[in-house]
Structure 1
Amino acid sequence: MRILSHTLGILTNPDKEWKAIRADKHSFAQVFLSHVPILALIPCISGYIGVTQVGFRVGDNIVKLTAGSAAALAILTYISMLIGVYLFGEFINWMAKTYMVEGDEPTRHYEGTALAVFVTTPIFLVGFIGLYPNLWLNAAVTFAAAAYSIYLIYEGIPILMNLSKEQSFMYATSVVTIGLVLLVTVRVGSVILWSMGVGPVYVD
Structure 2
Amino acid sequence: MTAHFIKLFTQPGHAWRDIRQDEEEHPRQYLAHLLLWALIPAISLYFGTTQVGWSLAQGELVRLSAGSALQLCALLYVTILIGTVVMGAFIRWMSRSFEARPTLNQCIGFTAYTATPFFIAGLAGLYPSRWLAIAVLGLAGLYSTYLLFVGITTFMRLKEGQGFLYAAAAWGVGLLVLVTTLVEMVLIWFNYLNPEYVREVAMLSAGM
TM-score, normalised to structure 1's length? Answer: 0.89
For the pair shown, which has the larger CA radius of gyration, 1 or 2?
2
User: Which residue is equivalent to 1:77?
Assistant: 76
Partner of 1:17: 15
Q: Which residue of structure 2 aligns with residue 158 of structure 1? A: 153
* Contact 2:28-2:109 at 8 Å conserved across structures: no
> Structure 2: how far apart are the matches of 1:155 and 1:91?
19
CA RMSD of aligned residues (A): 1.7
Q: Distance in 2 between matches of 1:92 and 1:158?
A: 13
Matched-pair identity in %: 38
Cα distance, 1:4 vs structure 2: 4.8
- Aligned pair count reads 197
- Provide, for residues 40-74 of structure 1, a one-character-per-residue CA deviation record: whole Å limited to 9, x for no partner: 11000000000100011212122111111111010
Structure 2: gaps (5+ residues): 200-208
Q: How far did 1:114 drift?
A: 2.3
1:116 matched to which residue of 2?
111
Give the TM-score normalised by the residue count of structure 2: 0.88
Secondary structure of the equivalent of 1:36?
Answer: helix
Mapped to 2, the partners of 1:130 and 1:170 lie a distance apart of 34
Structure 1 residues 85, 27: CA separation in 2 closer, same or farther (over 3 Å shift)? farther
Question: What one-letter code is carried by the residue in structure 2 that aligns with 1:170?
Answer: L
Q: Which amino acid aligns with 1:171?
A: Y
Per the TM alignment, residue 26 of structure 1 is displaced from its structure 2 partner at its CA by: 3.8
Residue identity matched to 1:179: G
From 98, 121, 125, the equivalent of 2:120 is 125
Shift of 1:101: 0.8
**Residue in 2 aligned with 1:138?**
133
Find the counterpart in structure 2 of residue 63 from structure 1. 62
Matching of residue 172 in structure 1 with residue 171 in structure 2: no
Amino acid at match of 2:83: G
2:4 to 6, 9, 22: 6
* Code of the aligned partner of 1:186: T
Question: 2:188 corresponds to which residue?
Answer: 193
Structure 1 residues 7 and 134 mapped into 2: Cα distance closer, same or farther (>3 Å)? same
Paired position in structure 1 for 2:51: 53
1:185 counterpart letter in structure 2:
T
Cα distance between partner residues in 2 of 1:111 and 1:155: 16
Asked if the contact 2:63–2:197 (Cα under 8 Å) also holds between the matched residues in 1, the reply is yes
Code of the aligned partner of 1:9: K
The runs of at least 4 aligned residues of structure 1 exceeding 4 Å deviation read none
Identify if the C-alpha distance between structure 1 residues 4 and 111 changes in structure 2 by more than 3 Å, giving closer, same or farther: same
Shift of residue 19, structure 1, vs aligned partner: 1.4
1:129-158 C-alpha deviation (Å, 9 max, x unpaired): 111111101210111001100111110011
Which amino acid letter does the alignment assign opposite residue 202 of structure 1? Y
Instruction: Tell me, in whole angstroms, the C-alpha distance in 2 between the residues paired with 1:95 and 1:199.
Output: 38
Q: How far has the Cα of 1:28 moved from its partner?
A: 4.6
